[in-house]
Structure 1
Amino acid sequence: MDADALLASLRRRFVLITALNWLPNGIGMAVLIVLMDSRGLPLGVTGLIVALYSLTTVLLELPTGGLADVISRRGVLAVSAGLGSLAFCGLAVAASAWQFGVLYVLLGMARALSSGPAEAWYVDSVKAVRPHADIRKGLAASQTAGAVSLGAGTIGGGALALAPVFPDSGAVTALSAPMLLSALLNVVLLIVVVTGMRETARPSDGGGFGALLAGVPRTIASGAALGVRDRALGRLLTTALPIGIAVSSVELLTPGRLLDVTGDSGASAGAYGVITAIGFAANAVGSAASGLLASLLGGGGARTAVAGTLVSALGLVALFTTGSLEGTAAVAAAAGGYALMFLGLGLRGPVHAELTHHRVDSGRRATVISVQSLLMQGGGSLAALTLPLLAGAWSIPGAWLVAGLILAASAALYLGAGTPPFAGRRAPDRVVEQGTA
């Protein structure tokens, strides 16, 4: 197989794996809160269970990234798919708070394990074939596929729960159908990962599996230290904090704002579902158009990331302007601002990933992705603690304005981040048929 054909094959596999990774989550998460309510869990208990999921993900984010770098990206992602399938199977029949708690911990473990391995595998595989190959196209296609899968999964999961698939009797009800489908799709993901993510064995100094595990903490520390030593990389990683604040601001505050302007919980929930789907679609469009924008701006990844960040910030400012509107006009304006924010995130995402990967070596790639994910979750947690208080003291649109200003200011972090430190003399193309690890 020649180099171009192999690169195309790697890109197709990466896109498929990304789509299969996010589709089960979209389908299952669409009805999980409703499922817990139908099983008699109070809202406060549901909140604690969701927080347990988040805490599990945060605690395991860096260790699982280091594990993928040291042992196997394919192995870590396969375990993630297996845990996801087990968790969704359990959720289909869970009935008590402790059962949901345990299963949410499994989901958190699966989420942490899936953060980074596929992307790190793809970039390393491409560079093994052609060191200076364009990775942006594959990253953009992957992010587009992820957004489409989440959007389609959310809509499909909600529709499936309304279909007369199961009679409402016993532990298995109509709300179980999305859970079981998500479990099945995770099995499909597991098969695709095992058969499609061919990789070379990770470097080892000898000593067996115990020595490999001992290398995980060193890899984590090395990846975190790289972000401190390389100031440009540190700035790139820091942008995840304001992104987390921005995303959390719309996810936390949009439902309340819609309830304020509609005055009806059912109408606001329906409107939020539509707006969420619009956001996923806008994100997919932005990811697909990222390369075109980079070409229009002279091919500069940093320029495109700045533009995407400012578009997202403009979306939050547009949400702020909805404060003077009521009724249908406010809902329509909120949908426009929401879409604009996620369009900007899509435009930024692929070029941001490309800039980051150009500054990271293979041995720490998944770890650095996990550091970035952890920072984004940190930004989201900060927003969850502060923005509701700000919204109460001022207004929900006012909180959006503050988040938008923070995001706009973060665009400056991309200045000077466009030159990769590993850019050396161009090497000749070489075709590498990777063996299994």
Structure 2
Amino acid sequence: MTDRTPRTRVGGDITGLRRTYWTCHFLRWLPLGLALPVLALLPLDRGLGLGQIGVLFGVYNATSALLELPTGTLADVLGNRPVLIIAALLETAFYLGFALAPTMVALTVAMILGGIGRALASGALEAWYVDRVYAREPAADVRPAIGGAMFLTNVAVLIGSGAAVGVSLLPKGQLPVDLPTSALPFVLAVLCGLLQIVALLALVRGGEGSKSARAGLAELRSVPGVIRESVTFSVQRGNLRLILITGLAVGVGIGAVEAFWQPALADLLADPSATTTMAGLLVAGSTLVGAIGSLIAARLPAAAARRARIVCGALFTLLAAAIVALAVAPTFAVAATAFLFVYLFLELRAPLNQTLLHRASPAGRRASVLSAYSMSTSAGAVIASFGFGAIVDSVGVATVWLCAAAVVALASVAYLRLTPTPRVPDAQGRTVAESALPH
């Protein structure tokens, strides 16, 4: 009797943490689901060209990449809750700015706000959840919860993109605001962003609020040192370094796809007036197959999870093949099918990749390491947006996608070079990664 009660209490506590994690994660991605189908179409409606759209995506990704590690360190030092709330406020401002911005300059400002918000939010909620679970059960398997969150990401984007399609089909005269059809999903995203802020305030708890303002400001002095420590740890530890390489590659591959797929596939349509509907349906379809992929990954048997590096390497190769198929597709149907497979393979890999990352991460620097990985994907997206954006008008989207696919295929080797790092506490109760962290 005496040793059964604690397990029941801990299990119930972890269930509550998982519920909060999933709820807040879903509410963060719902507004993005509304915006995704028209993220490149709205600038087109306002007279921008492909090169300018590439610059906009580059500004967003560069802002996020530059701030990923500092903001992750802020979450480690000041606490995840305040960082998450500020991130939600900035991302909501991004949606509002994009809905109303009439010029390239205004759209750029909105992108900068969105990039800052993305950097702040990156990894903070996941780190909040994983740290609290490992504090209760050091050998807990967090893969199902992370996979469930990724499934909910796709569900949220699916619901949001479906709503965006529905708005695009409404007669113009029945709309309550005088805005382009492509701007209306951003208005709905603002409302969903406000709901996310309320949920974070009500649900996320962790003790950070007990710090005084003076104590919080004093701790900011340690941020540069923590950043240096996290960078050194990430670069020197072989597994983390290899996982960061895969993050850079996936940023290049997916960044190239996301920057140019909407105008490229629109060119294959027989009816140009169906562009917004097409974009919404494809986003919905990609999130549906992505949800299936993340759900399968979260429920893989333990034996497959133990071979995560091999599975991830194979999925990276398949991802590269799907991007190649997208580049050479002769018809809209073929291109749309390839586009869906890109997101299927991406989401099949993601929970396994995150599990590998957590196994190599120290608990006290988890948000920083997660931000370092997100920074690597953002850096890859910057390369795709600025680099490919500079040449896309002269070489074409197909050539850009073939180059991106080559980068992804080469990076699959990095997964195969990973060495096992089981999360088993040592004699002092620390994990492999924590034991390697300098004190």
Give the TM-score taking structure 1 as reference length: 0.83
1:275 positional shift: 2.9
The worse-fitting range, judged by mean Cα deviation, of 311-320 and 59-68 is: 311-320
AA of the residue aligned to 1:367: S
Q: 2:199 aligns with which of 165, 189, 192?
A: 192
AA of the residue aligned to 1:331: F
Structure 1 SS opposite 2:418: coil
2:25: which partner in 1? 18
1:371: which partner in 2? 372
The separation in 2 between residues aligned to 1:291 and 1:79, in whole angstroms, is 30
Contact 1:290–1:348 (8 Å) recurs in 2: yes
Against the structure 1 CA distance between its residues 94 and 397, is the aligned structure 2 distance closer, same or farther, given a 3 Å change threshold? closer
AA of the residue aligned to 1:308: L
The separation in 2 between residues aligned to 1:392 and 1:172, in whole angstroms, is 29
Contact 1:136–1:350 (8 Å) recurs in 2: yes
Deviations 1:303-329 (Å, cap 9, x if unpaired)? 22223222212312333552xx3xxxx
Deviations 1:299-357 (Å, cap 9, x if unpaired)? 422222223222212312333552xx3xxxx2222222222221111111001111111
Deviations 1:141-190 (Å, cap 9, x if unpaired)? 11111122123212312423543698668767766653343222222212
The separation in 2 between residues aligned to 1:52 and 1:298, in whole angstroms, is 36
Question: RMSD in angstroms over aligned alpha carbons?
Answer: 3.4
Tell whether 2:9 aligns with 1:8.
no
* Residue correspondences, number: 420
Question: Where do 5+ consecutive residues of structure 1 fail to align?
Answer: 429-437
Contact 2:167–2:184 (8 Å) recurs in 1: yes
AA of the residue aligned to 2:340: A
AA of the residue aligned to 2:186: M
The separation in 2 between residues aligned to 1:314 and 1:274, in whole angstroms, is 23
1:353: which partner in 2? 354
The separation in 2 between residues aligned to 1:88 and 1:387, in whole angstroms, is 25
The separation in 1 between residues aligned to 2:64 and 2:345, in whole angstroms, is 26
1:112: which partner in 2? 119
The separation in 2 between residues aligned to 1:391 and 1:138, in whole angstroms, is 39
**Identity, % of aligned pairs?**
28
The separation in 1 between residues aligned to 2:367 and 2:323, in whole angstroms, is 31
Tell whether 2:261 aligns with 1:251.
no
Structure-to-structure mapping, 1:8-407, within 5 angstroms: 8-31=15-38, 42-43=48-49, 51-89=58-96, 93=100, 99-163=106-170, 177-201=184-208, 208-262=215-269, 265-266=272-273, 270-293=277-300, 295=302, 297=304, 299-322=306-329, 325=330, 330-387=331-388, 396-407=397-408
2:3: which partner in 1? none
Contact 2:21–2:129 (8 Å) recurs in 1: yes
Deviations 1:23-71 (Å, cap 9, x if unpaired)? 1122144445555666x66558776655543443233222211111110
Contact 2:26–2:152 (8 Å) recurs in 1: yes
The separation in 2 between residues aligned to 1:389 and 1:46, in whole angstroms, is 11
Question: Where do 5+ consecutive residues of structure 2 fail to align?
Answer: 1-7, 430-439
The separation in 2 between residues aligned to 1:36 and 1:395, in whole angstroms, is 19
Structure 1 SS opposite 2:297: helix
1:251 positional shift: 2.3
Contact 1:53–1:105 (8 Å) recurs in 2: yes
1:236 positional shift: 0.8
Contact 1:65–1:116 (8 Å) recurs in 2: yes
Give the TM-score taking structure 2 as reference length: 0.83
Against the structure 1 CA distance between its residues 390 and 185, is the aligned structure 2 distance closer, same or farther, given a 3 Å change threshold? closer
